[in-house]
Structure formats: C-alpha cells, structure tokens
Amino acid sequence: MNGSEEMTVSGMSAGRSAMRMGPAELVQAAAMARRFYLEGKSKIQIAEEFGVSRFKVARVLETALERDLVRIEIRVPAELDAERSDALRARYGLRHAVVVESPAEAEESPDPENLGEVAADLLGELVNEGDVLGLAWGRSTIHMAAALNRLPPCTVVQLTGVYDAGTAERGSVEAVRRAAQVSGGDAHPIYAPMLLPDEATAAALRNQTGIARAFEYFDKVTVACVSIGSWAPGISTVHDMLSEEERAHYASLGVAAEMSAHLFDAEGRRIGRDLGERCITVKAEQLRRIPEVVAIAGGQRKAAAIDAVLRSGLVTSLVTDTAAADYLMTAGQPPKPALNRADPDGA
C-alpha cells in the first residue's frame, strides 16, 4: 500500500458489528487481513498458510470490511480534490485531471501559482528519460518551471514565441532553461515575439537559425505543457497583443478561447486560422500528434475557455482548480473523449 492509503486492523475492539464474530473468527480474520492488506500476500498464499480455500479467504476479507474489522482510508494532500479530479477526467475523457483547491482570491486571479506547483509534480511523473518536453508561453507554465525540482534527463524546447521579446529572459526562455537545468538536458529557446505584424516577417523569423532549430524539434515532442486564455484583457496573451480592430474581428467569429496563439469557439472548433500565419508557434496539427499535452489553467474567468479547448481534442491532461472544475462539470453536453484526438473541424 502506498503513502496515500491507510489500513487499520482493529481486532477485538472493532465495534459491536464485529463482535458478532467469535473470538477465533476475529483472530483469523485479523490475521488474514494483515497478510492481504499490509504484507501484500495473495489470497492463494493466505489460503495455503491457513489451510483453507481461497474462496473462504475472499469471504473472510469481505466480511472483515463489512463488519468494520478492517478500515481502509484513501487520503491525498489537503489541496488536492480527488473526487472532482476523477469526475472531470471521466467527463472529458482525459488521461489525467488534477483539481486543486481554489485560493480565496481565485475569482480575481486566474491560474494561481499553486497550479504550477502541482503541474511541476505531474510532469515529474509523466516525463521519461529521453523524452522531448515542449513548453508554450504562459504565466502558468512559467510558474510550473520555477517549481520544478525533479525531471528525468530530457530535451526541452520552447513551443511559442514570447509575449514581449524584451522580457524573454524572465519568461518562456527562462522557463525552458530552468526545466533543462533540472533535467540535465539540452535547451532550445526561441528569442522572438509570439505575434508579428505580418506573415512575411513571421516567415523570415522562422527561417533564422536558432528559431529553425527549435522548430525542428516540434515533431519530436512527447510531452507538452500549455496554457489556456479567455478572450478578455489580462487573461489572453493574444487578445492583449492585438489591436482593438483585430480583437473585434475575431470576436465576431465567435472566439471563446486561445491556446498557443490558436483560437477556438465555444464548441472547440478552430477559427481565425489566418492569425497563426503571423505567429511563432507550434501548429495545432503538431500539438494533436503529441502523445501527452498538459494544460494548466484555472479560475472562474477561464472556465468557459478551458471547456472550449478541452472540446478541441488537443489536450490530454489538465491541471485546474475547484472554481473552474465546478463550472466544467455542468458545462453543456459532455464532449467526446479528448483521447480520441479527432479534429472538430475535420481538418
């Protein structure tokens, strides 16, 4: 049994219901329970030791649970909500869903820092030696990288340009370097803005040696970490980088969310694909081929956007908070399983 589970064999003091068993039965049941739950022995091994059939062992163990002779507790750290996590995973067909308690100020502060800390622990589980880890720009991924303390040897590549090239050293570039430092692997940062004035400038930048080298790794990424933004000031990088006229244009198309400079409507369909031609970012088709894409996003203000991106099928796992999870559990009809990874647009 692992550290999150506790088993108590209470013997003769088990309570009135257990006292209906005779003393010999109680002693035998307690002994069998110890062998099975604490020592990890199989029912066949226990049957051989006590000279009974494995079917009797199964009945005794079942009775021990029913009569409160054995108590099993499943415990996780206080900040994790195991019930919401499992329900959210099942609803969206995700591979992993981790829900943490929302801080008191969650409504005003989407993507609280504790999401990044939990995501760092999750990446420590998901990344294997020799993997290629991709990090997209986002406050949550920056928090995640800062919280990393263990990571197997792997290559780390930046998946998007940065919000402001002048702050690259304090944002995505530093996140990539930090992850590579923890893992002991190579780092491939991108020193370029995410959004460029026109397609020609973006194309020219993609051909620059350092950026082109990072792009070569996009098809090799095995685990990616991304952020999700709502179409509103302060909670969408792309929204804040565009002009008022451009924002109005994409809003008229029904944009509800953005992820790595890709825009989605409320049903998870990609819209405004022309914007991607002006951006330094991994393609949606490449994201769809990555085996594990972990999104980090939370807060009530981002809840609808998270739902939209999950419906796109691009994300396989989610780290979020209770504020967003409560919305997601009642957000319209359950979507098709994300692990199907089908494109809602059929493209």
3-class DSSP assignment, residue 40: coil
Q: Delimit the CATH 1.10.10 region(s) of the chain.
A: 23-67
Which residues of the chain, if any, have pLDDT below 50? 1-19, 106, 165-169
Q: CA 226, CA 288: separation in Å to the nearest integer? A: 13
Task: Work out the burial of residue 196: count CB atoms within 10 Å of its CB; fewer than 13 is exposed, 13-18 middle, 19 or more buried.
Answer: buried
The whole-number pLDDT of residue 76 equals 56
Query: Hey, how many other C-beta atoms are within 10 angstroms of the C-beta on 341?
Result: 17
Phi, psi values for residue 17, rounded to 5°: -65, -40
Residue 39's SS3 state is coil
DSSP-assigned letters across all residues of 257-324: EEETTEEE-TTS-EE-GGGGGGB-B--HHHHHHSSEEEEE--SGGGHHHHHHHHHHT--SEEEEEHHH
Identify the CATH assignment for 80-340 out of 3.40.50.170, 3.40.50.1820, 3.30.565.10, 3.40.50.1360. Answer: 3.40.50.1360
Measured CA to CA in angstroms, residue 78 lies from 34, 100, 118, 229, 295 at distances of 28, 9, 12, 27, 22
The pLDDT score that the predictor gives to residue 65 is 85
Q: What CATH architecture is 23-67?
A: Orthogonal Bundle (1.10)
List, for residues 158-183, the tens digit of each pLDDT value: 999 987 544 444 567 889 999 999 99
Q: What is the pLDDT of residue 2?
A: 40
State the pLDDT at residue 1.
39
The token pair that represents 239 in the structure block: 């929204």
Residue 169: both structure tokens together: 């050293």
Quick one: which H or E segment has residue 177? helix 172-183
Q: Which residues pair with residue 193 across a beta bridge? A: 162
pLDDT value at residue 339 = 53
pLDDT of residue 127: 96
Q: What is the pLDDT of residue 332?
A: 77
